């Protein structure tokens, strides 16, 4: 694994062809976000975006206990809270980062506060049976300002989101799956492997078509249908100019798997 934070705080590896594995590596602090994590995650996003051979990424945390416990409160209490965000990526260098490729959260442990906000920033989530998910900020006179207070109500039924936000109490993995917050719940030891398997299924598809489709789908709740129709039309035009657009039908006719080149 390569280091992206100037230490060993965020690790980057190409785990399989076309799939990056990004690990927050602070298990002793339950993978809480400090300045090095924010810088490292921003660098990871930029590396994924810049590499045409990477089509999907998995984000996880080191150790068995936590995906991410949110902001490192020791840093906050020491007056270094500004370092927990970057200009382009926002909190953790991630929650506001522009990403065209698919990201899967692999939460082998709890995702709380900013940790849940990182998970909500991903497109898909594979989580451990024992993991919990919550926004406890109000218990410390804080607001889940890294997207949690508006992304959670978009991800789960409104009443459930409001209860989680106002009480600060977490929900279990089973409840998270029931409400559609996560995609798959598996034993903790299988979380990363399952997430990589899900990424593998994504990467079996034409990468430009996946990216164009995600760009539209991510805006479905924010734009009216007229704007979404226009985005779809423009995406279709761009796709038709690619080599992969020719390869898909050709592979079908020739009864073979397609060979995508991503251009």
Running DSSP on this structure, what letter comes out for residue 139?
A: G
CA dihedral sign of residues 188, 193, 196, 202 = negative
137 and 231 part of one domain: no
* Domain's final residue, options 163, 186, 203: 203
118 and 146 part of one domain: yes
From the list 46, 49, 87, 117, the catalytic residue is: 117
**What is the number of domains present in the chain?**
2
Residue 261 lies in a domain: no
22 and 46 part of one domain: yes
Residue 263 lies in a domain: no
Pull the structure tokens for residue 257: 């798997």
DSSP H/E element including 10 = strand 10-16
Is there a catalytic annotation at residue 28? no
32 and 138 part of one domain: yes
Is there a catalytic annotation at residue 129? no
Q: How confident is the model at residue 228, as a pLDDT?
A: 92
24 and 89 part of one domain: yes
CA dihedral 222, 203, 110, 8 (to 10 degrees): -110
Residue 61 lies in a domain: yes
Residue 235 lies in a domain: yes
163 and 223 part of one domain: no
Q: Beta-carbon neighbour count of residue 175 at 10 Å?
A: 16
39 and 151 part of one domain: yes
Residue 258 lies in a domain: no
Q: How confident is the model at residue 12, as a pLDDT?
A: 96
For each of the chain's 263 residues, which pLDDT tens digit applies? 565 545 699 999 999 999 999 999 999 999 999 999 999 999 999 999 999 999 999 999 999 889 999 988 777 777 777 888 999 999 999 999 999 999 999 999 999 999 999 999 999 999 999 999 999 999 988 889 999 999 999 999 999 999 999 999 999 999 999 999 999 999 999 999 999 999 999 999 989 999 999 999 998 988 889 999 999 999 988 989 888 788 787 877 777 787 877 78
Residue 240 Rama label (left phi>0; alpha psi -120 to 50; beta): alpha
* Domain's final residue, options 165, 186, 203: 203
240 and 175 part of one domain: no
Contact between 139 and 130 (Cβ < 8 Å): no
Residue 259 lies in a domain: no
| Rounded-to-integer distance, Cα 206 and Cα 190, Å | 27
Contact between 212 and 235 (Cβ < 8 Å): yes
Residue 238 lies in a domain: yes
Contact between 96 and 114 (Cβ < 8 Å): no
Pull the structure tokens for residue 227: 């704007």
Per-state percent for the chain, helix, strand, coil, to nearest 5? 45, 20, 35
CA dihedral sign of residues 218, 220, 222, 228 = positive
From the list 42, 75, 137, 212, the catalytic residue is: 137
Q: How confident is the model at residue 244, as a pLDDT?
A: 79
CA dihedral 141, 133, 126, 61 (to 10 degrees): 50
Identify the bridge partners of residue 12 per DSSP, sorted by sequence position: 2, 22
Under DSSP, is residue 20 helix (H, G, I), strand (E, B) or coil?
strand
Integer-rounded Cα radius of gyration of the chain: 19
Residue 248's domain comprises 207-253
| Rounded-to-integer distance, Cα 216 and Cα 12, Å | 28
158 and 103 part of one domain: yes
43 and 77 part of one domain: yes
At residue 256, what are phi and psi to the nearest 5 degrees?
-140, 165
Q: How confident is the model at residue 167, as a pLDDT?
A: 96
């Amino acid at each position: 694994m390569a280091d992206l934070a100037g230490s060993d705080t965020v690790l980057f590896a190409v785990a399989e062809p076309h799939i990056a594995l990004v690990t927050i590596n602070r298990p002793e602090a339950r993978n809480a976000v400090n300045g090095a994590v924010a810088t490292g995650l921003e660098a990871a996003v930029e590396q994924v975006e810049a590499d045409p051979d990477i089509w999907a990424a998995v984000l996880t945390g080191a150790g068995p206990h936590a995906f991410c416990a949110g902001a490192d409160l020791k840093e906050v209490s020491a007056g270094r809270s500004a370092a927990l965000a970057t200009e382009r990526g926002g909190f953790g260098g991630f929650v506001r980062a522009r990403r065209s490729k698919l990201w899967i959260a692999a939460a082998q442990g709890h995702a709380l506060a900013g940790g849940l906000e990182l998970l909500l920033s991903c497109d898909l989530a594979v989580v451990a049976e024992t993991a919990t998910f919550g926004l406890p900020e109000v218990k410390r006179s804080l607001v889940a300002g890294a997207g949690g207070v508006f992304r959670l109500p978009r991800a789960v039924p409104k009443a459930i989101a409001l209860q989680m936000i106002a009480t600060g109490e977490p929900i279990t993995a089973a409840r998270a799956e029931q409400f559609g917050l996560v995609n798959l719940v598996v034993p903790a030891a299988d979380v990363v492997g399952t997430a990589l398997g899900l990424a593998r299924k994504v990467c079996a598809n034409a990468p430009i078509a996946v990216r164009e489709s995600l760009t539209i789908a991510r805006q479905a709740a924010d734009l009216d249908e007229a704007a979404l129709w226009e985005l779809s039309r423009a995406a279709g035009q761009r796709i038709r100019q690619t080599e992969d657009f020719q390869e898909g039908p050709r592979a079908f006719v020739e009864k073979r798997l397609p060979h995508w080149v991503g251009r």
